[in-house]
A and B are shown apart, each in its own frame.
Chain A
Amino acid sequence: QVTLKESGPVLVKPTETLTLTCTVSGFSLSNARMGVSWIRQPPGKALEWLAHIFSNDEKSYSTSLKSRLTISKDTSKSQVVLTMTNMDPVDTATYYCARMLLWFGERMDVWGKGTTVTVSS
């Protein structure tokens, strides 16, 4: 069974750096047909893609947030880590990680339940 679980702080202060971890099970981060994406959703708003990473360590970032994001993976720990610097109240959102299946296209076929992050002093 494929699962993904997000973890990280519930509350961060403005200007701080957010570090989120996605722990996966049921598949390997070294599988060439799979990757992991991070997506966020502010309260009552639409989904926003943030970044993704593939088995060959290829990475891609949202153009608007690229300067603030870093994605990395530890295959041995089955974890993908996203850091976002200089947090602001507008970054308050539920953050999801999702598996990207690269087979006959590219899609986010399994999602974690999400973790809610509030940015406030």
Chain B
Amino acid sequence: DIQMTQSPSSLSASVGDRVTITCQASQDISNYLNWYQQKPGKAPKLLIYDASNLETGVPSRFSGSGSGTDFTFTISSLQPEDIATYYCQQYDNLSVTFGQGTKLEIK
């Protein structure tokens, strides 16, 4: 199975900061990588698909990049409503794997 290593596991930043989360796959997954946001007590929400495509309705301060094994998720200017846990997720023909999550807090 493909393993996803997400870092950091937690992050504290100030409003307006640029925030970056990384995700590394255990093998080449091309661009088969999605990013989700989960707020406490809520279901996850799709933000980015295929590594760099912004889901409809998602603010443009969210972005993603990468291919192969190394991926990056960025919030260009952190807003108070961005406090959540963020997950990367890979897919191939046989299975799906989520990263361990990054809990984002306001400093």
| A contact set with B: CB distance below 8 Å | 37, 39, 46-49, 52, 60, 62-63, 96, 98, 104-109, 111-114
Which residue of the partner chain A has the closest CB to B30? A105
- Known contacts A46-B101, A104-B53, A105-B32; A60 and B45 CB within 8 A of each other: no
Q: In the assembled complex, how far is the CB of residue B83 from the closest CB belonging to chain A, in whole angstroms? A: 16
A106, B44: Cβ atoms closer than 8 Å: no
User: Which A residues lie within 8 Å of B106 (CB)?
Assistant: none
CA distance A27 to B1 in the complex (A): 31
Contact assessment for A63 and B1 in the assembled complex, using a CB-CB cutoff below 8 Å: yes
* B-chain residues with CB within 8 Å of residue A109 when the two chains form the complex: 46, 49, 55
User: Which of B19-27, B61-69, B90-98 faces chain A?
Assistant: B90-98
Q: Are A108 and B101 in contact (CB under 8 A)?
A: no
Interface residue B82 (Cβ < 8 Å from any Cβ of A): no
A111 touches B44 (CB 8 A): yes
* Contact across chains for A37 and B96 when beta carbons are under 8 A apart: yes
- Please give me the residue from chain A that is nearest to B43 by CB atom: A111
B49 contacts A105, CB within 8 Å? Answer: yes
Contact of A63 among B32, B44, B95, B100 (CB under 8 A): B95
Q: Closest chain A residue to B56 by CB distance? A: A109
- Cβ distance B68 to chain A, nearest Cβ, rounded Å: 16
For the complex, what is the distance from the CA of A104 to the CA of B54, rounded to whole Å? 12
CA distance A13 to B35 in the complex (A): 35
The yes or no answer to B72 lying at the interface (CB within 8 A) is no
Question: Contacts A63-B1, A111-B44, A114-B43; is A46 near B49 (CB within 8 Å)?
Answer: no
Report the minimum CB–CB distance from B25 to chain A (whole Å): 15
